Amino acid sequence: GENVEQHPSTLSVQEGDSAVIKCTYSDSASNYFPWYKQELGKRPQLIIDIRSNVGEKKDQRIAVTLNKTAKHFSLHITETQPEDSAVYFCAATPSSNTGKLIFGQGTTLQVKP
């Protein structure tokens, strides 16, 4: 079945720096890749997503890139702020097209003021 690997597990950056989180997936037919932000004890919030027919998508300080050949996708956060501190999860929709999501292990991002 589909497997999603996420790195790093923890990431600490200074306020204003950039943060990059990387994921790889196993099912080459996966076609939808969302990123979620989860604060402690709360629900995951969709922050950006990308579909397999697009290589890059940007929304203000957040961008996602997709390399279908390498089966990699990455989250880029620029000009980080303390409120960006949270756990970030990548996910992928496997080829079964049931809509289910397979999640990566998560990255705890700490932005130091």
Partner 1 sequence: GAVVSQHPSWVICKSGTSVKIECRSLDFQATTMFWYRQFPKQSLMLMATSNEGSKATYEQGVEKDKFLINHASLTLSTLTVTSAHPEDSSFYICSARPSAAEQYFGPGTRLTVT
- The residues that touch partner 1, with contacts defined as CB under 8 A, are 1, 32, 34, 36, 41-46, 49, 51, 89, 93, 98-106
| Shortest distance (Å) from residue 36 CB to partner 1 | 8
Nearer CB in complex with partner 1: 27/49: 49
Whether residue 90 contacts residue 73, with contact meaning beta carbons closer than 8 Å, is answered with yes
Nearer CB in complex with partner 1: 14/53: 53
Residues with Cβ < 8 Å from 90, sequence gap 6 or more?
4, 6, 21, 23, 33, 34, 35, 36, 73, 75, 103, 104
Nearer CB in complex with partner 1: 101/111: 101
